[in-house]
Structure 1
Amino acid sequence: MSDSPIMLVTGGSDGIGFETAHRLLAAGATVILHARTAELAELATERLVEAGAEPLRLHQAVADFTRLGEVTEMAAQLLARYPRLDALVNNAATAGPPHRLLTEDGHEVTFQVNYLAAYLLTRSLEPLLAKASRGRVVNLSSSLHRGGNLNFADLDRARRYTRGAVYAQSKLALTVFTTALTEAGRPAVSVHPGIINTSLLKHYSYRGRPAADGAEPVAHLASPHTAVLDGGYYEGRVPAKPAPVVGDRRAALRLWKVSARLTGVSA
């Protein structure tokens, strides 16, 4: 473990997360595969080993992102087990339900799973990222973030809810968080992997490329050997222009502080 990069991929039990873990393992990394349940983590592990992954470089982490307490518990376990973290890939996401639903923590479920859980996990794992020579965060964004807006007075969408709007908001928040991370000195990028045939596709498009295609730029950007534009937004491997608010330092700071309050993390 000490010689290979240590990388955590959230939402690694299927889709882009699974294929990203597969690519990172093939490149010689030690991969911590996160899944929502132990059963899903075990099934994904079995599939990766059958595909040729070295078992000693494949570890598991479990947390249901609809429960922030489980995110905190998982982070504590990782802090106790690993000497550093070379890359954190925040991939876990949900398309959200057709009607507004709150988690046990009191947040709109799409906003929590796609953004707040990633914020909490990233902030909690900062000690491990800091122990790497240049611990990197890769946030899975979407081109749909450009259609989102951050209504700080109603982030949980009590007044107006549509599945598409809350998904776009969650991806916009994650992309703005990328800016905030770099302002705080943590190398980070966000990436739209393309229109990919995953479980989310049916809600936003009719056809997409294989998950392995979407994983390729994600694994590339996560690699410590890849030079990246800190705070950059990528579409595939290519830097692209994000929504204007992504470059707004005041908006990034405000989101950081609000997210800290909502997740109980010190700002």
Structure 2
Amino acid sequence: MITGANSGTGFQAARILVSKGAGVVMMNRSVEKSEAAIAALKQEFGREVQATFVRLDLASLDSVRKASAEVLATLPRIDALICNGAIAQVARQEFTQDGFESHLGVNHYGHFLLCGLLYQRIDDSNGRIVVVGSEGYKMGLKTIQFDDMNWINNYHPNSTYCHSKLAQMIFAYELQRRTTEAGKNIKVYVCHPGASRTSLINEKANVASRLIFSLMAKSPMVQTAERGAYPEVMCATTKNLEQQAYYGPSGLFNWIGPVGKCEIKPFVWDRAVAEKLWAVSEKETSIGWQI
């Protein structure tokens, strides 16, 4: 299962997996784009490709609940849930349907709820949760802004994006700890795509951000979306990986190059921050995790 799988690294991850015979469930907001993505996979690999989709809007907790209910009603096992979907660099502040700052709401809260609702099925399947982070996690505040989670007083498109990706990674490592301590079957892995040619920087970004990325994308400092998908595919399938690690391109600035273990900054491991973020996230998404 892959969120945000109708384009970019999510689609390329789906493409790699179905090419090896895996069944893939795309979890996307757009029905039209999902149907087009599945049609493209069938055209390339044949009509027998096992690719379906469930409509999921990470900006709506109600949509997350409905999608999770559909998954639990139709899928007896989940080998891996790849939390790939994301938004970035939204120039003018936006809020989700539930009133959250959009980056935090989509990138963190939506996935936090989705993982919680599907946790038992993944555990029963001896499965994995793969959280796709970002090197941006170390470019922002380096902690969680608990006193203003919606960034009402200091909104900035890059800072809020970095904040949301840091939240995702803190959540993932805290989930690792709790799952290990409880003796559960789930494995949790964290990765990042490096600098990849995707549509993540889109029309909602300001002109400067779009221009800079469009120029970078033409340079050797940015890799293909397919190469950007390698870390999440590896984390979803490869045996004997370390959980307390951070996988991604290991070349120049961790933007490109072969997939390897990358440095984790110590502030990601702050247990007090992690426990507080977990409590806040449970409250905001109205879920009580059962681990």
Same fold, TM exceeding 0.5?
yes
Q: Give me the whole-angstrom Cα distance separating, in 1, the residues matched to 2:113 and 2:140.
A: 21
* Equivalent residue number for residue 182 of structure 2: none
Question: What letter matches 1:227 in structure 2?
Answer: N
Q: Give me the whole-angstrom Cα distance separating, in 1, the residues matched to 2:35 and 2:134.
A: 28
Q: Give me the whole-angstrom Cα distance separating, in 2, the residues matched to 1:19 and 1:213.
A: 8
Deviations, residues 219-262 of structure 1 (Å, cap 9, x unaligned): 11110x43211132122331222232211222222111111111
Deviations, residues 55-78 of structure 1 (Å, cap 9, x unaligned): 452121111111110011000110
* Equivalent residue number for residue 248 of structure 2: 235
* Equivalent residue number for residue 137 of structure 1: 129
* Deviation, structure 1 residue 53: 5.1
2:111 is paired with a residue whose SS is: helix
Please say which structure displays the higher CA radius of gyration.
2
* Deviation, structure 1 residue 184: 1.8
Q: Give me the whole-angstrom Cα distance separating, in 1, the residues matched to 2:278 and 2:199.
A: 29
Q: 2:169 aligns with which of 175, 178, 185?
A: 175
Unmatched 5+ stretches in structure 2: 180-185, 202-208, 250-258
Determine if the alignment matches structure 1 residue 163 to structure 2 residue 177.
no
Q: Contact 1:146 / 1:243 at 8 angstroms: preserved in 2?
A: yes
Identity over aligned pairs, percent: 29
* Equivalent residue number for residue 65 of structure 2: 72
Determine if the alignment matches structure 1 residue 60 to structure 2 residue 53.
yes
Question: What letter matches 1:196 in structure 2?
Answer: S
Comparing 183-192 and 17-26, the one that deviates more: 183-192
* Equivalent residue number for residue 253 of structure 1: 275
Deviations, residues 156-180 of structure 1 (Å, cap 9, x unaligned): 1111101000110011011111111
Q: Give me the whole-angstrom Cα distance separating, in 2, the residues matched to 1:248 and 1:228.
A: 23
* Equivalent residue number for residue 265 of structure 1: 287
Q: Contact 1:26 / 1:53 at 8 angstroms: preserved in 2?
A: no
Count the aligned residue pairs.
258
* Equivalent residue number for residue 5 of structure 1: none
* Deviation, structure 1 residue 127: 1.6
Q: Give me the whole-angstrom Cα distance separating, in 2, the residues matched to 1:190 and 1:151.
A: 22
Q: Give me the whole-angstrom Cα distance separating, in 2, the residues matched to 1:254 and 1:123.
A: 17
* Equivalent residue number for residue 199 of structure 2: 199
Deviations, residues 184-226 of structure 1 (Å, cap 9, x unaligned): 2142111111100111255574222110111122211110x43
Residues 216 and 187 of structure 1, relative CA distance in 2, 3 Å threshold: same
Q: Give me the whole-angstrom Cα distance separating, in 2, the residues matched to 1:155 and 1:78.
A: 30
Q: Give me the whole-angstrom Cα distance separating, in 1, the residues matched to 2:35 and 2:16.
A: 18
Q: Contact 2:42 / 2:49 at 8 angstroms: preserved in 1?
A: no
* Equivalent residue number for residue 3 of structure 1: none
Q: Give me the whole-angstrom Cα distance separating, in 2, the residues matched to 1:166 and 1:124.
A: 26
2:148 is paired with a residue whose SS is: coil
* Equivalent residue number for residue 187 of structure 2: 187
Q: Contact 1:175 / 1:233 at 8 angstroms: preserved in 2?
A: no
* Equivalent residue number for residue 226 of structure 1: 239
Comparing 121-130 and 197-206, the one that deviates more: 197-206
Q: Contact 1:75 / 1:125 at 8 angstroms: preserved in 2?
A: yes
2:52 is paired with a residue whose SS is: strand
Matches within 5 A, 1:32-181: 32-52=25-45, 55=48, 57-133=50-126, 135-149=127-141, 150-181=144-175
Q: 2:223 aligns with which of 190, 209, 232?
A: 209
Residues 235 and 216 of structure 1, relative CA distance in 2, 3 Å threshold: closer
Deviations, residues 87-119 of structure 1 (Å, cap 9, x unaligned): 110000111421211122010111111111111
